[in-house]
Every structure is written in structure tokens, then in C-alpha cells.
Amino acid sequence: MRFRIVFPVLFFTLILASCKSDEIDQSEGRPNPNIILIMTDDQGWGDLGINGNPDLSTPNIDRLTREGARFERFFVSPVCSPTRAELLTGRYAVRGGVYSTSAGGERLDLDETTIAEVFKQAGYRTAAYGKWHNGMQPPYHPNARGFDDFYGFCSGHWGDYFSPMLERNNEIVEGEGFLVDDLTEKGLSFIEANKDQPFFLYLPYNTPHSPMQVPDEWWSKYENKALDSMYQDPEMQDMDFTRAAYAMCENIDWNVGRLMTKLEDLGMLENTIVLYLSDNGPNGWRWNGGMRGRKGSTDEGGVRSPLAIQWKGQIEAGTIIHQIAFTPDLLPTLADLAGIPLETNKDLDGKSLKPLLLKEEGEWPERLLVSHWGNQTSVRSQDFRLDHEDRLYHIPSDPGQQVDVSEAYEAIKDKLLAKKKDWIASVLVELPENDPRTFTIGHPDFANTQIPARDGQAHGNIQRSNRWPNDSFFTNWTSTEDKITWKVEVLEAGKYEVEIYYTCAEENLAPMMRLSLGNASLSGPVDLPHDPPLEGMEYDRVPRGESYVKDFRPFTLGTIDLEKGKGILRLEATQIPGNQAIDFRLMTLRRLEE
């Protein structure tokens, strides 16, 4: 098997371009509903007041569940990018080539149909503001996957939440204030601008993912707060980390309240479906309903997520849904609720939850849902979980997965084992052992390409600023034998202007940098000093595990003529007058008009 490398201009580009808003179904005498889909990052099921946590207040999210529907047993993937891929496609993430959270393994295959493409084809305006985490370079970029407008970052995590370097539609920009507040502001503006036409707004917030940064007004409540909610093994719990997570969750709740107030003020509540969920279990050992597992685990606590869906006048307030469901269900559910066609390149793994939400008559069939990450594969039925070591647990009576009931329920275990084996043989097999995909440059429809340190390979003395590639930079460039390389494919030949985001101390001026690909090369000196300090720690509430950041600035290296095709992009320092060359964060290649 191999990855599917199919570049849009894609079949969908032609279709989407021909779509008009007047194609929207008016069969019921009203326009199709707007969609607002909010997904938080590393917020556990237990990080909400509605789920019984006494230590934090989330009235706006709680209200969503009370005035709409709440799923009691909703499951996502154990980590970020697979959940996002499943939300986008309605399919298991491994089918779409997503197997990692960085260095290219987070990218969603190009022959997958996204939820944004489905809604855009139906005439919706589409936007995504926040953490994308399914590919950066077009055609993997959100603007190439059906989103008209994008603001945020494409990496797996970010190193600064206060006015950081971000991007808007593949152009580097500076954020405005605390990031979740900023993303919400963009969402509010989008709602206002599109109040007279149907829209799909995706808000993948970046918190409470670390680094644990949150404004003073939220932190001050928790800084010295005694906590009553504890993980079942209190010695494993980092209390300050938990306090910071709760402060971040309360900030999220405040922003959800801002969104709902905007809808109410505009009279749009009855024609807007609002969803709220998280992308995986909690990012620390803290109270989570007594469940075993956290982020990264296929146990119950690692994959159970809150899910609230509100649609005033359509979904009965206070609806509680006990049937199991999972992320791939969201695409078919939203298309079904919106009354729009659902045509995708591939068969879906999810199914529409509309019958449950609208309490339609009919029997709901038994389901078996698979959770997978790395070498862990777990299977969930309505009441049982087969864990990755093939132990069986009755979850309603044993959420902590303490008692293996395999002997008492042999028939059930056999059924779940059979599902696991079939899934590995028929689904996981679609993911090849080696990823042949390159990083793309110069998509015909996008002039700008970002090439970050995250996706590069360091050679020689060069070191990554942190072992986690996301949001890292390269440093310790001390020898002319050192270099950084990327496996790339140029999709359209042409002349490209190259900018490098760098730092360089005055005593190390002026290293001669050389960029090459195939027979093309470009050289130039870095002759302007820029040596800012590391940043981030001044905002951190607890010590971070991620890289600190710097105020990286761009300098123009020059222009390079690139031919279409694959090769190795190399960045070298051919002369190093001082102790080292540059610290490298990012490179942009902009195709120039002929």
C-alpha cells in the first residue's frame, strides 16, 4: 500500500468554484443552518462543571448542554492531529495518512474530502481560526482544503499565546492579544460579516494545551486555590499545572459565552448549530471522572470527550444521548442536519447522529468503535472496552478499568477481538510503513510556501531547540559542514523570492548562507544583526516542556529559479566569520510573476 498523492486543483476545486449560495436547500421554507464547531486542545472530559468537577466554573459550555444535547459517551482519538483528521473527513485518521503529530505525519492525504469542501460546495462561506495541525504547505493548507479564510497556526502546538507570530491565509502576521481571545474576535467578525448567508465556522482553540499561559484575570482566581477535585492517585497530580489548566478552561468558557451572545444579539440562535468538543483526554493527571488514561492513551480517559450540540427549536433542550458515538460521525451528522448533499471521494466510517438528536423513531444498531494510536488499539462497545492488551472491562461499573472481566464475558470479548483483528487487517493496513510524501513548494494556486524548521532535518552540529519539533527552531550552527535539508517537490516552476526568519548576534555577522535545490542555488550574507532573547517564560504559569520562542525577523536572501520536480532543498552556511551562523525558524518561498 502507499499514500495517495493527488494534488488539488483537485477535482473539488472545479466543483467548488461553480457553487453558488442560491443552491442551498430551501425545501423547508428556511435557509440551511449555520454551523459553529468549537474544538479545544487537551481539555479532558472532566474539565467542565457540567460533568461534575467542583473546581471550575464553565456556565456557558454547561448552558450549551442544557439547552441542547449532551453525548454521554463520545470518543475522539488519543492525540491532536488524528482527531482533527477524523472530524474533517468522517473517516479513521489512518485511512487519510495521519500517523504522527509533526514532521509531516500530521498531513491529511489529498484525495480525502473535507467537511469544509462539503459545505462550501453547498454554498456555505467557510472559515477556520485556530490550530489546524493537518498540513502547512499547499495543497495541505486549510485554504486548499475548502476554507475560504484561515487565521492561526498550522503546527501541532505554539510557543507563545500573547500576540505571537501567526498566519492569515498563508501570509505571516502578528497576533492581537491572548490567542484564544484573538481567535474568538476573528470568529465574531466572521459571523457579523456573514449573518445574511449560511456559514461554516471552525474554531479549533489552542488551549489548555501547554505552555500553560493565561491572562492574569483568569490565573488570579486559581494561583492559590485549594482544589477539591483530584486524580485517583493524587501523588501523580501536578497541582499548579491543574490550576493553570482550569484557568485556561474558564477563559475558553468566557469566549464561548461571547460567541453565544453574538448569535443572540443577531437573532441567529434558531438558525445556527453550535458544537463543542475536545480533541483528546486531559494533558495532565487530574480529575477525569475516575477514568483510566489521559492524552495519548486509548483507555477510556484518553479518548472520552465532552460533546454538546445546540440547535434552538430543533434539538430538544436537555437531551441526553447515551449511545456511543465518535468523531467521524460529525461530518455525516452535520450534513444531514443541514440538509445538504454528502458526496465524498471515499466511504465514511461515521454515521449520522440525526436520529438520536431529533429523537426519530427507529432502532439504533449496536456499534463497535476503534481507538488507535501508535501501537495501541482498543475497541469500545456500548458497555465494554477491550484495551490494547486485550483485557476486557465493563465501563459503567469500572471506569478506571481495574477488573478484567474476560472470563465472565467470553462471547463479548471474542466479538471485540474479532473487530480489532478485522480493523487492523482492513483499516490500519492502509497506512504504509514508510511515508513517501514530500513537502510541497509552489502550488499553482498559492504564491507563498512556508518551510519551517519543524519539517527539516538537521545535519552536523545543528540542534533543535526542543525535542518536540512543533514550534521549534534550529540553533548551534557552528560549522560550514552543517546544513538543514527538506525533501520537497516543486509543483510549479518559476522564480521564487526567499525570506529566512532568523536571529544572529552582531559578533557573528555576516555568515554567508546558501540555498540550493537541484541545479539551482542562491547565496547571500546575513549582514543585519538581530539577537533577541528567548521569550515565553515570563508568561508561563508552570515550567514548560515545549521550546521557548524568539522574535524571529525575516531577511531576504534573494531569488532562485526552481524547476518542477522532486529533490532535496538544502540550506548551508558557506562562511561563518563568528562562533556560529544563524538560528533558523522559518523560510518562505514566494513565486514571482513572470
Active site (catalytic) residues:
80, 133
Contact 254, 205 (CB under 8 A): no
User: Do residues 69 and 310 lie in contact, with contact meaning Cβ atoms separated by under 8 Å?
Assistant: yes
Separation CA 76–CA 84 (nearest Å)? 9
DSSP code per residue over 232-279: SSGGG--HHHHHHHHHHHHHHHHHHHHHHHHHHHTT-GGGEEEEEEES
What is the SS3 assignment for 493?
A: coil
Burial 316-330 (b: 16+ CB within 10 A, else e): eeebebebbbbbbbb
Q: 31 φ, ψ to 5°? A: -70, 160
Q: Determine contact, residues 41/208, Cβ cutoff 8 Å.
A: yes
Q: Grid coordinates standing for 484?
A: 538543514
Q: How many helices (H) and strands (E) does the chain have?
A: 11, 29
Q: Which residues pair with 69 in a beta bridge?
A: 309, 319
Q: Are 415 and 407 in contact (CB under 8 A)?
A: no
Q: What's the grid cell of residue 63?
A: 448552558
Calpha distance 305→38 (Å, rounded): 13
> How far is residue 347's CA from residue 89's CA, in Å, rounded to a whole number?
10
**Rg for the chain, CA atoms, rounded:** 24
Secondary structure of 187-234 as H, E, C letters: HHHHHHHCCCCCEEEEEEEEEECCCCECCHHHHHHHCCCCCCCCCCCH
133: its cell numbers: 495541525
Q: Give the position of cell 448542554.
A: 65
- State the DSSP string of 60-119: HHHHHHHSSEEESSEE--SSHHHHHHHHHHSS-GGGGT---SSTTTTPPPTTSPPHHHHH
